[in-house]
Amino acid sequence: MAVSIGSAPLAPATLKKLQDKMPQASVINSYGLTEAGPAFITMTGAEAPKHVGSVGKPNPPMEVRIVDPDTDADMPARDVGELLVRLPGKHREYYKDESASAAAWTDDGWLRTGDVANIDPEGYVQLADRAKDLIKSGGEWISSVDLENALAAHPAVREAGVIAVAHPKWDERPLAVVVLRAEASVSAGELREFLSSRFAKWQLPDAFVFVDELPHTSTGKLSKLELRKRFAAWKWEPVNQS
């Protein structure tokens, strides 16, 4: 039996629950974009326990690179940057949209995925976040996905979304929007304490909002766009911290 996971990287806590409930199943995680073809990076069930959080290795003949988003210079192994991918053969483009094509593809055929990732020395790709979902606070980057995955590991949390909200001093700060499991109870202070063993203090969300449901896209993914709209008028105050 095999379980195929796509659309977004599977949170480590979710992967563990799946493996506990279906130990006989082989979990296959994958990553792909319409512009680059079907799933071109895959992770088999046998690899998953050794490379938790990774989406796998690129399938030949796909090439992948991690580059500095400002200079397009290649990044060293394990360093985080923008994920670029390329297939040999004809250069791809958007139909009758030269400007969008020029922005998405480099002159030598590399597609800018818009995802931030790193590649380890063994060639496994680990996605950090969508570039547009990274939180820039005081000149430092915070991954919303890392915070969401960590929150999802708390026994009281069913789902969490973390977004950047404008801040008068730090440019942006993380706001966590949390859905609790039925009959569960936990405070914002307890969640901050839960996260503090894995994140530096400046990376922790400054506030937690508890809601009944989070918005999702038609494919079931968390809609960060809708979350940002809902909390566009958020004002930073010392609330929900205990």
pLDDT for position 57: 92
Q: Do 12 and 121 lie in a common domain?
A: yes
Say whether pTM exceeds 0.85. no
CATH code for the domain of 92 = 2.30.38.10
Task: Check residue 54 and give its pLDDT.
Answer: 84
Flag whether 225 is in a domain: yes
Shared-domain flag, residues 66 and 7: yes
Contact 55, 41 (CB under 8 A): yes
Q: Are residues 97 and 190 part of one domain?
A: no
* Residues of the chain below pLDDT 70: 7-10, 38-39, 45, 89-91, 238-242
Show the 3-state SS of the chain. CEEEECCCCCCHHHHHHHHHHCCCCEEEEEEEEHHHEEEEEEECCCCHHHCCCCCEEECCCCEEEEECCCCCCECCCCCCEEEEEECCCCCCCCCCCHHHHHHHECCCCCEEEEEEEEECCCCCEEEEEEHHHCEEECCEEECHHHHHHHHHCCCCEEEEEEEEEEECCCEEEEEEEEEECCCCCCCHHHHHHHHCCCCCHHHCCCEEEECCCCCECCCCCECHHHHHHHCCCCCCCCCCCC
Alpha carbon distance 203, 237 (integer Å): 17
> What pLDDT, on the 0 to 100 scale, is given for residue 240?
45
Strand partners, 171: 137, 167
Q: 145: domain range?
A: 134-230
**Rounded CA separation 240/183 (Å):** 19
**What are the tens digits of pLDDT across the range 7-27?**
566 677 777 777 788 887 777
Which CATH number goes with the domain that contains 199?
3.30.300.30
Measured distance CA(213)–CA(223) in Å, rounded: 12
